[in-house]
Structure formats: structure tokens, C-alpha cells
Structure 1
């Protein structure tokens, strides 16, 4: 696969991107909730979401309200994954999603990662950011779910851990 650098992204001046912190957790959970309910993102516990903040970025509107989020999970020097990309609908189409992905890619690059992957239904969006298929046409990534995620969350809710 040939390396394609991400496109330069300019944001309107009322928006900014910064590294996420623990203080962003309630706002990030609130941001992700409708995307989880629409089954566009995987449901995560509070602790799982908190762990995403370590390598995550928030998009801010007027330097105060969290309106977007994305994280990059670094598996090894070979591979990292973009996770939980979400932008409130009323703040979409301003370049925030692309800027969040770009920040995640730059973090992975700074940590020496060779390749960043993303699992998404928005392939054109990702291709515009330099992503491409790394598997030959005749191969696809397949997943085997060993345990129902819903069952895990029901157990956690019953124990009051979500």
C-alpha cells in the first residue's frame, strides 16, 4: 500500500482540537450516547470510555463545549486503530471529523506506529484522509464475537459498575 498523507484541514475559528482529559469524560459520554443508541458506535462502560481519553482528542466549540471526539488505540509499533469518532450532527461539515482523525494519526506517528486502521461505514470520508484498503480484494477482515456485548453490560449495570 502506498502512503498517502492526510489532507491539510482548516477549521473555522470558532472550533479547536485539543488532547482530551479526565474532565472531558462526562461530555464525551454525552456526545457518544446518541451514536451508541443508533448503533453507529460500540457501547462502552464508563471505565472503557475513560481509558480512551488517554490517547483521545476533543473538538471544542468556542473553546468550551465538547462537540466531537476521537481516540487512537495503539496496539503495537505495527498497528493502531481510530476509535469512537463522533461529532454532534449540528457541528458536522466543518472539518471536525477530519481534524480529529488527523490528530489521532499524528499521535500514532509520533509513537512510531507503522499503520493506522479504522473500521467505519464512511469509507469515502476515510479515503479522503489518506486511508486505503490494505488487504487484497479477495480478502476481508472477519470478526468472531465470542460473547454478547449486551450481556456484559447487563452484568455491569446489575452490579452498578457502568
Structure 2
């Protein structure tokens, strides 16, 4: 199964540009108000604070692009931001038999996928991916696919 929200990049770019334009307009409005008009008094800081908070929330919301591919004998996960210098992109590929379990954690608007994968030294590693920008249907499809892989792994271990 393949899952990707790459087609939504123009929407995310538009939203980021809109937030930056609102912030720059707020900065200009703040400067003009302080230097020339002084209408808003202390409320003029709102022109900078609210757009800055929105940008911070957008940054904390996580990486926008999530790609998943389970075709073949390997699982491939990619998670990246549309602005390349903000976050380091995640790119992991491992055999299906190494997947032990997964957990989807959703808190308010934030959503993350935690994968537990067996490692070479006999232990396990936890991989984290941000899935906040996936739709409910995409999340359900992802859960279904990962459950199939885990169930297949359990059957193979049970047979051996």
C-alpha cells in the first residue's frame, strides 16, 4: 500500500506564505502605529504577537509531508517539511519482519506515529513520525496496513 499527502504541498505553501504576509503586515502596522499614529497604544503589540504565535503553532504542528510504502518486502517511511531548512527530513526503510508494534498518539490537533522496530543487537528502536497533516481516512488506512504487517509477522513467528 502506498500513502502520500504530497499533492497538498501547494495548500501548505499558501498557508505558510499567508502567515508570513500577515506577520510582515503586522510588523509594518506596528511600526507605523508607533512612529506616526499611536492609535492602538499598548494594543499595537497584538499586531506582532498573534501572527508570531500562529507561525510557532504551525512549526510545532510538525512535518507536513508523510509518505508510506509497504509494497514489496520492505516498509518505507518519509516525513519531511515543505521548507527544507526548518527540520531534517526523516527517511527510513527496513524489512517488514523487523516491525514489532506501532502506536498512534493524538493529543488535541497533534498526531504522531511511533514504530517499534527490532535492531541488529537484539534490542529495539523507536521511530517517530508526525502525522498531524493526514486525514482520518489516511490514518485509518495506515493503521490497517501496519496491522496486516504485524499480524503476518506474528503468524510467521508462531509457525517457526
- Shorter-chain-normalised TM-score: which range? under 0.3
Q: When the two structures are superposed, what TM-score results if normalisation uses the length of structure 1?
A: 0.25
Structure with more strand by fraction? 2
Which is higher, the Rg of structure 1 or of structure 2?
2
More contact order relative to length (CA 8 Å, sep ≥ 6): 1
Structure with more helix by fraction? 2
